[in-house]
Structure 1
Amino acid sequence: MEMQGVGLKVFRQKLATSLEIRGQLQVPARFSPDRGSRSAERVEIPIVSRVALAPGIPRIDIQTEIDNRAEDHRLRVHFPAPFTVDAADYDGHFEVVRRPLGVPEKGAAWVEDPRPEVPQRAFTDVSNGKLGLMLANRGLPEVEVIAAPAGAEIALTLLRSVGWLSRDDLPVRPGHAGPGFETPGGQVPGKWVFDYALIPHAGDWQAAFPQAYAFEAPLRAMTSGLHAGERPAFGAFVSHTPVEFVISALKEAEDGRGWVVRGYNITAEPIEVTIKPWWAFAHAERVNLAEAALAELVPTEDGSVNLAVGAYEVATVRFVV
């Protein structure tokens, strides 16, 4: 389905050049009363997308705003890649999961038909080993990679409008999957804003995933009056190497004595990790998820600690006051 009445406007600014695309979709208003087809009545869904490119950042940021006036539908955006693949990589919890395209053959004991949509966290990536296309997002967990003769296509779900918590008349499943309650709020009417980003890259997902994680944590600016201070003009609360070690948590220790830094090795190879807090602590130790001590770590002169982290391993360090 294509947008109608498309209008374009370019904004040239020093921080980022952006393109605003305005249009609308003409879609069926809802299911027909017998739920066998879409209704003949049509409604208009206004859509505004702002595409931004900032100097020095190899990423195309997109923000889409819609006014959802239809029911019983799903809205997705599609991004084709100029190459074919038979599998795609999806960011998950403490790992990146490779899944084949399509759906598996339905097992004899399966209640529901398998679906091609899969979960993601920060990104989905397709690559032929030389070229790749990554699609990052903020809070959009449903995605599908579609195989096509001209190339793979990433389809990102922006919203899904449903009117029931469960129904027993679906062709893909016998019976209910939960209480058969109406959920008018599940039609998600009104205005919604979605943020996602395209990251073209060479090689595979490991060449681009830091940009996806950076997109998840946008810049926050705060104002302050002029005043003297001891801190440098730039710095990091915690810095670390290599980039393959992904910091997933930074918090106060449960006993109130120091910081806890947690991260994981996103790769299939062991790595040597260095973690450096903003200021030096006299004592550091490797702990488990319950923050019970596992091994002593000796801080270097600049306060950093070094540790070996295995493939896909989660590692937690406590810096003690």
Structure 2
Amino acid sequence: MHLNWKTSVSVPEYADTEMNAALQRKIRSASDDDLLASLLHFAEGRVALSRYRGFDGLLSELRREEVDAGKLESDDDSPLCFEYRRANHRLLQSLRGEATRIETAVNQIGGVWHSLREASTGNLSRRYQQPDAGGEFELDAISSLERDLTPARNRLTAVLIRHREEVHTLALKDAEFRAFAATPDSISLEQFDRMTPLGFEQAVAELAQRDGYTLAQRNGGARDLGADVIATAPDGRKIVFQCKHRQPGGRPLGSPVIQTLNGTARPVHKADVVIAVTNASFTGPAHDLAAKQDIHLLFGPRLRKWATWGVPLLTVLGIETDIAQEAA
């Protein structure tokens, strides 16, 4: 054994003489192989621990971002509340998915480190004497994981930047909608509640005009055959509205309203788009029947988007693309 006695490291002196003697015997019996093997094993442990701390630090960062993302809330009064919720949900799902992958890596590296600890109780010299080429060591399992640490950090940064840009874009749109709500062209749901049934029909007609539709009928009557407002879109499509006004807190509209509208809107009025609109709501059976008969229900948040925030009617109904394609 060869020691560099110029080293600043000194052999510790224990209080127990037997302990000192045992240590001296170990040192005297140590070979160059023993010393190098001990150094190699210690270095492996430090490398494994360093990688563990890197991944564990990233996991902690992901968990903090995940907690913060879970606290994000959307303004229910915003016309883009659902878009905000979707953006926040996408962020949360991305963070959770990445955290799951990194947690797996942390557990694997932790397993490697514990395996190295167990190996320290064996013959270290024999461990590093490799008569058989191609032997594998615990650190081999870390190599492939380590290559993903930087990309994982980059993915986290990209996810946060994408969410920030998405929310920023939504905020700009939100500001535009709120500016429109301050104009005379905007009608709030509260204003609808204060209207008479006739006033409600006329308000719907005015909103159709606001969208650039040509009115053929502004309100219904005793013989309207289920059509209160009839308008023609710029592309020539005929839109038929059945308007049902309710006092605040009134009962939801049931399927008979949809049945009546379905029996006349297309057969009698030759409607291309059929809409039942109310300041109240619709029952479950009314929703089911409307879906089967391709009748659009306009109320609540959808009515607010159109009337209050100025979103075009066909965009609110999700059929703007369909109409554009048919017109082409």
- Do the two structures share a fold, i.e. TM-score over 0.5? no
TM-score relative to the length of structure 2 = 0.21
TM-score relative to the length of structure 1 = 0.21
Q: Which has the larger radius of gyration?
A: 2
Higher strand proportion: 1
Higher helix proportion: 2
